Amino acid sequence: MAELAQTLNPAVAAPEVAPAVAALTSRPTLSAGRMLRRFASRAWLLVALLIVWEVIARLSPTVFFPPFTVVIGQFASDWFTPDPTTFFLSENFYNAVPISLWRLARGWGLAVILGVSIGFLLGRSPVVRLLYSPIIRFWMSVPNAALLPIAIQFFGVSEAVTIFLICFGSMWLIAINTADGVSGVDQDWLRTARSLHLPRRTLYTRVILPAASPHILAGLRISVGFALILMIVAELYATTAGLGHDVALYQQTFRYKQMWSAFVLIALLGIGINVAFDLVETRLLRWQRRAGLASL
Amino acid sequence: MNTTTIRGIGLGILGTASVVAVWALIVELGLVSSASLPSPFSVAASLPVLLTDPNFYRSLADTLGAWLAAMVIASVSAIVLGMIIGTVKFLSAPAMVAVNALRSIPSSALIPIAILIFGLGSAMKIAVAVYAVFAIVLINTIYGVAGREPMRVDAARSMRWTWWQQYLHLTLPSATPSIVTGIRLASGISLVVVISTELLGARSGIGITIVQYQQALRVEMAYAAITMVGIVGVILYSVLAAVERATIDRIRLG
C-alpha cells in the first residue's frame, strides 16, 4: 500500500515550494529601510531580466516583440482608466477578467469538491483504491488538451467547455493527493481516536482532515496552476469572450502591443493566484514545523 | 508474483470494467447523443483501424518528438543553471523570486506569442514546452541542491575537491531525487502543452489528427486516438516513476 501510495503521488516535491514565500511573508515587522534593502536584495535579478528584455527588444527590428516599457504603457491604457467610479479599471478589464475568473472558479471549485470526495473514498478504503486507481491514473495521464475537440462535440462552443476542461484536468490530481494524505494518516492517531470513541464526524473533521491537509493543499496548489493553463487553452481554442479569447483576437488582428499587454495581465493574475494560495497555505499549515529549506 | 499483486491487478481490471460498463449503459439508455459519446464497443472496434493507419504513427511520433526535444533541452539547461544558482549563495533568493514569478505565468498564454515568433513548425511547439518544463525542473534542482548534507559539503571541502568534482560527485547526486521528481511532474504538463499548440495552430501532430477526426464526424476514431494517447501517457508516467524510485533507492543506498 505504501509503495502504491508513493507511485501514485505526483506531488512529492510540491510542499517544499511554499516555504520560500512563507519565509518572505511571515517575518516580524521590519523597519522601512531594511524592508527596502531586503526587497532590493531579492528582486534585482527579476529587474535585470526585464532590462534584458527591454534591450533585446529595442535592438531587434521585429514588431512581434515590443520592448517592456512599451508593453507596460499599453498595459496601463488597456486595462485602467482615470475613472474612480469603476475602481480605475477599464471597460476592457470588466469585459474579460470577471468572465475568465468566474469560469476558473466554477471549474476548479467543482474539481476541488469532486477530487477531495473521491480522494477520501480512495484513501479510506484500500479495496476502492485498488479498484479505481488504474482508471484514475489513465485519466490523469490523458493530456487533457486532447479532450478539447470532444468537449466541443459535447457542449458546443459554450462556457461549459472551459469549465469541463478545467474540472476534468484538475480533479484527478486533487483526488490522488487527497487519497495519499488520507491513507497516510498516522495509524496511532486513528487507534487513539477509536479508543476515545470519537464520533465519525469528529474523526473526519478533527483528525483525518487536518492530518491530510498538507497533501491536499499540495494537490490543490499544483492543480490551480494547471487549471490556469487549461483555462487559457480552452479560451484560445473556442470561446467568444475572456482573456484567452482577447489574446487570440489581438494576435489575429495584428494588434501585437495589445496582445502583450493582455499577456502581462494574465501573468499578473497567475502570480496573484499563487501568492494568495501561499498566504492561505501558510495560515492553514502554521501548525506544521517547517524544515530547513524554508530559509530559501 | 504473490497473491496481493494478483488481487490488486484483478481488482484493477474489475474497477476499469465497471467504468466501461457504466459508459456502455449510458450510451445504450440514450442519455447522451451517440454523436458526442460513442459506445465503448465502437471505440474498441475502431482501435485496429487506427493502429494500422501509418498517418497515426507519423503524427504521434511528431508530437512525442517535440515533447522529447523540449524535455531534454529544458531539463539539461535547468539542471545546469539550478546547480549554479543553488550553490552560489547570493543568487539563490533573487533567483527564487524570478523563477516563482515566471512559474506562475500559464505557459499556454505564450502559444500565440510563440506562433508569431517561431511560426507553425516544431520549433514553436518545442519553445512553449521548454518554457513549461524549465521553471519546474529549475525549482526542484535548486531545492535539491539546497538539501545537500552540510557534513558532506564540509568533507568535500576538507578533501580539497575541485569545483567540478564537487558538482559531479556531491551536488548532482544529492539533487538527483528532487530533479527526477521535477522531470516527472513536468513531463505530463509539457505533453498537454505540446498538444495544445497543435490544437491552436501547429501544422502536424496527434492533436491535429484528433481535431480532424472530430470535424469529419468520426467521433469513435477521435475517442480511440485519445485512448491511445492516454495509454502512451500512462507508459511515459510509469517509466519516469520507475526511474524516480530507482534513483531514490540508489542514492539512499550509496
pLDDT tens, position by position, B168-202: 888 888 888 889 888 988 898 899 999 999 988 87
Mean pLDDT of A207-227: 88
Mean pLDDT of A19-36: 59
The residue behind cell 504538463 is B189
**pLDDT band for position A290 (cuts 50, 70, 90):** low
C-alpha cell at A27: 517575518
Q: Chain A interface, mutation test: which of B196, B197, B226, B249, most A Cβ atoms within 10 Å?
A: B196
Residue A32 burial (CB < 10 Å; 0-12/13-18/19+)?
exposed
Q: Chain A interface, mutation test: which of B60, B105, B117, B153, most A Cβ atoms within 10 Å?
A: B105
**pLDDT band for position A30 (cuts 50, 70, 90):** low
Residue A143 per-residue DSSP state:
-
Q: Are residues B235 and B220 in the same domain?
A: yes
Residue by residue, DSSP assigns chain B as: --HHHHHHHHHHHHHHHHHHHHHHHHHHTTSS-TTTS--HHHHHHHHHHHHT-HHHHHHHHHHHHHHHHHHHHHHHHHHHHHHHHHHSHHHHHHHHHHHHHHHHS-GGGGHHHHHHHHTTSHHHHHHHHHHHHHHHHHHHHHHHHHTS-HHHHHHHHHTT--HHHHIIIIIHHHHHHHHHHHHHHHHHHHHHHHHHHHHHT-SSSHHHHHHHHHHTT-HHHHHHHHHHHHHHHHHHHHHHHHHHHHHHHHHHH-
What is the distance of C-alpha B204 from the center of its chain? 19
Select from A21, A45, A130 the Cβ nearest to the Cβ of B8: A130
Mean pLDDT of B82-94: 85
Give the per-residue pLDDT at A28. Answer: 53
Q: Chain B interface, mutation test: which of A236, A268, A295, most B Cβ atoms within 10 Å?
A: A236
The SS3 of residue A288 is coil
Does position A159 have pLDDT exceeding 90, yes or no? no
Q: Are residues B28 and B120 in the same domain?
A: no
**pLDDT band for position A44 (cuts 50, 70, 90):** confident
Locate the DSSP E strands across A143-248: none
Query: A21 to chain B: which residues are within 8 Å by CB?
Result: 100
A89 forms beta bridges with: A80
Does position A294 have pLDDT exceeding 80, yes or no? no
Q: How far apart are CA A272 and CA A63, in angstroms?
A: 29
Q: Are residues B12 and B56 in the same domain?
A: no
Q: What percent of chain A has pLDDT over 70?
A: 86
Q: Are residues B151 and B244 in the same domain?
A: yes
A195-218 as b/e: b if 16+ CB within 10 A? eeeeeeeebbeebbbebbbbbbbb
Q: Are residues B25 and B95 in the same domain?
A: no
The Cα of B74 is separated from the nearest Cα of chain A by a number of Å equal to 18
Q: Are residues B1 and B84 in the same domain?
A: no
Mean pLDDT of A212-218: 87
Amino acid letter, residue B228: M
The Cα of A10 is separated from the nearest Cα of chain B by a number of Å equal to 7
Mean pLDDT of A260-270: 89
Mean pLDDT of A62-86: 79
> What kind and span of H or E run contains A180?
helix A159-183
Query: B233 to chain A: which residues are within 8 Å by CB?
Result: 138, 141-143
- B109/A142 CB distance under 8 A: no
Select from A42, A131, A169 the Cβ nearest to the Cβ of B97: A42
Give the per-residue pLDDT at B252. Answer: 60
Most confident of A91-95, A277-281, B16-20: B16-20
Query: A153 to chain B: which residues are within 8 Å by CB?
Result: 35-36, 214, 219, 222
Q: Are residues B62 and B135 in the same domain?
A: yes
Q: pLDDT of B105-149, one tens digit each?
A: 888 888 888 888 888 888 999 999 999 899 889 988 988 888 888
Q: pLDDT of A92-149, one tens digit each?
A: 778 788 889 999 999 999 999 999 999 999 998 888 888 888 898 888 888 888 888 8
Give the per-residue pLDDT at A9. Answer: 40
Give the per-residue pLDDT at A111. Answer: 95
Q: Are residues B71 and B90 in the same domain?
A: yes
Give the per-residue pLDDT at B253. Answer: 53
Q: What angle do CA B212, B35, B203 make, to 5 degrees?
A: 10
Amino acid letter, residue A279: L
Query: A295 to chain B: which residues are within 8 Å by CB?
Result: 146
Does position A286 have pLDDT exceeding 80, yes or no? no
Give the per-residue pLDDT at A11. Answer: 40
Give the per-residue pLDDT at A16. Answer: 42
Q: Are residues B27 and B79 in the same domain?
A: no
Mean pLDDT of B150-171: 85
How many A×B Cβ pairs under 8 Å? Answer: 210
Query: B206 to chain A: which residues are within 8 Å by CB?
Result: 146
- A141/B140 CB distance under 8 A: no
The Cα of B161 is separated from the nearest Cα of chain A by a number of Å equal to 25
Mean pLDDT of B30-46: 84
Does position A1 have pLDDT exceeding 50, yes or no? no
C-alpha cell at A70: 512599451
The residue behind cell 575537491 is B161
- A141/B237 CB distance under 8 A: yes
H helix runs in A60-158, sequence order: 68-79, 91-124, 126-141, 148-155
Q: Are residues B87 and B117 in the same domain?
A: yes
Identify the structural domains of chain A with CATH numbers, from first to last: 18-295 (1.10.3720.10)
Identify the CATH number of the domain in which residue B162 sits: 1.10.3720.10
**CA A75, A77, A81, A86 torsion: positive or negative?**
negative
The SS3 of residue A64 is coil
Q: How far apart are CA B89 and CA B86, in angstroms?
A: 7
Which of B97, B89, B106, B142 has the alpha carbon at shortest distance from A46? Answer: B97
- pTM score, whole prediction: 0.83
- Comparison of pLDDT for A261 and A79, the residue scoring more: A261
Give the per-residue pLDDT at A89. Answer: 75
- In total, how many domains does chain B have? 2
Select from B32, B139, B215 the Cβ nearest to the Cβ of A17: B139
Amino acid letter, residue B123: A
Give the contacts of A158 (CB within 8 A, at least 6 positions apart): none
Output the average pLDDT for chain B: 87
Mutual orientation of helices B172-200 and B206-215 as an angle, nearest 10°?
30
- B181/A12 CB distance under 8 A: yes
Tell me the helices (H) and strands (E) count for chain A, helix number first: 13, 0
Domain of residue B43 covers 38-253
Q: Are residues B20 and B121 in the same domain?
A: no
Give the contacts of B152 (CB within 8 A, at least 6 positions apart): B170, B174
Select from A12, A133, A296 the Cβ nearest to the Cβ of B93: A296
**pLDDT band for position A58 (cuts 50, 70, 90):** confident
Q: How far apart are CA B219 and CA B227, in angstroms?
A: 12
Q: Are residues B48 and B27 in the same domain?
A: no
**pLDDT band for position B1 (cuts 50, 70, 90):** low
Q: How far apart are CA A232 and CA B222, in angstroms?
A: 23
Q: Chain A interface, mutation test: which of B100, B180, B197, most A Cβ atoms within 10 Å?
A: B100
Mean pLDDT of A43-56: 87
